[in-house]
């Protein structure tokens, strides 16, 4: 079995057996930001609190990419997922071949392999269409 390494430290963690994205909330204006920053990008306050973000959101937009990237062979899907906290997360989208994507559809976070790097598996976050809520 390959060694698993995190795509980048501090972006996500496991809570009760499920992965969550870790962001922060400004204690002054309430703006939620991901990934964690020392300064609020909205009001420049420097008093931020750590916040585990919702695992479910809605698809704001998506595209199927037909050009190669550093880590992904085409075609692959990416998109913006809007979380209830009022923040959009840019992410790889998985499960798009099985369930055609539609703006507004329910999406769910997964922590899984992003790509292989030699003997290592790089682990990160993705979103997939939510199936148990009658996702189309």
Partner 1 sequence: MREVAIIGVGSTVFGKFPEKLPYELGAEAAWAAVQDAGITPKDLQFAYCANLYGGMVIGQAVLGEIGVTDIEQTNVQNACAGGATALRKAWWDIASGLYDIGMVIGVESITTSPIAGKLITPAKGDISGELGMNMVARFALSQRRYMDVFNISLEQIAKVSVKNHHHGCLNPYSQYKKELTIEEIINSRPICEPITLLQCCPSTDGAAAAVLVSRDLAKKYTNTPVMIVASVLKSGDYSFRWEDMTFSDMTYKCANEAYEMAGLGPEDIDVCELHDAFAVNELQHYVELGFCKRGEEARLIEDGITEIGGKLPVNSSGGLLSKGHPISASGIAQVAEIVWQLRGQAGKRQVADAKVGLAHVAGGEVAGLESGAVAVHILKK
Q: Assess 22 for contact with partner 1 (CB under 8 A).
A: no
Q: How far is the CB of 16 from partner 1 (least distance, A)?
A: 25
Helix, strand, coil % (nearest 5) of the chain? 0, 50, 50
Among 67, 97, 98, 132, the residue binding partner 1 under the rule CB under 8 A is 67
Among 9, 66, 118, 119, the residue binding partner 1 under the rule CB under 8 A is 66
Structural contact between residues 93 and 103, judged by C-beta atoms closer than 8 angstroms: no
The nearer residue to partner 1, 71 or 135, going by C-beta atoms, is: 71
The CA distance from 95 to 76, in Å, is 10
Residues 6+ apart with CB under 8 A from 16: none
Q: Which stretch binds partner 1 (CB under 8 A): 16-24, 49-57, 59-67, 128-136?
A: 59-67
The nearer residue to partner 1, 91 or 130, going by C-beta atoms, is: 91
Interface of this chain with partner 1, residues 33 to 52, rule: CB under 8 A: 35, 41-42
Structural contact between residues 53 and 21, judged by C-beta atoms closer than 8 angstroms: yes
The CA distance from 72 to 122, in Å, is 12
Strand-pair category, 88-93 with 120-129: parallel
Q: Assess 21 for contact with partner 1 (CB under 8 A).
A: no
The residue ranges that bind partner 1 (CB under 8 A) are 7-8, 11, 35, 41-42, 60-72, 76, 78-80, 86-88, 90-92, 103, 114, 124
């Amino acid at each position: 079995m390959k060694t698993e390494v995190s795509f980048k430290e501090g972006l996500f963690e496991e809570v009760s057996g499920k992965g969550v994205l870790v962001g922060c909330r400004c204690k002054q204006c309430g703006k939620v930001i991901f990934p964690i920053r020392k300064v609020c990008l909205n009001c420049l306050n420097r008093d931020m609190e750590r916040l585990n973000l919702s695992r479910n959101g809605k698809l704001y937009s998506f595209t199927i990419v037909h050009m190669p990237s550093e880590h992904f062979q085409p075609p692959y899907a990416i998109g913006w997922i809007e979380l209830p906290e009022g923040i959009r997360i840019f992410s790889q989208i998985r499960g798009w071949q099985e369930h055609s994507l539609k703006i507004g559809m329910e999406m769910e976070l997964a922590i899984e392999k992003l790509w292989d790097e030699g003997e290592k598996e790089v682990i990160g976050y993705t979103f997939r269409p939510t199936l148990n809520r009658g996702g189309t």
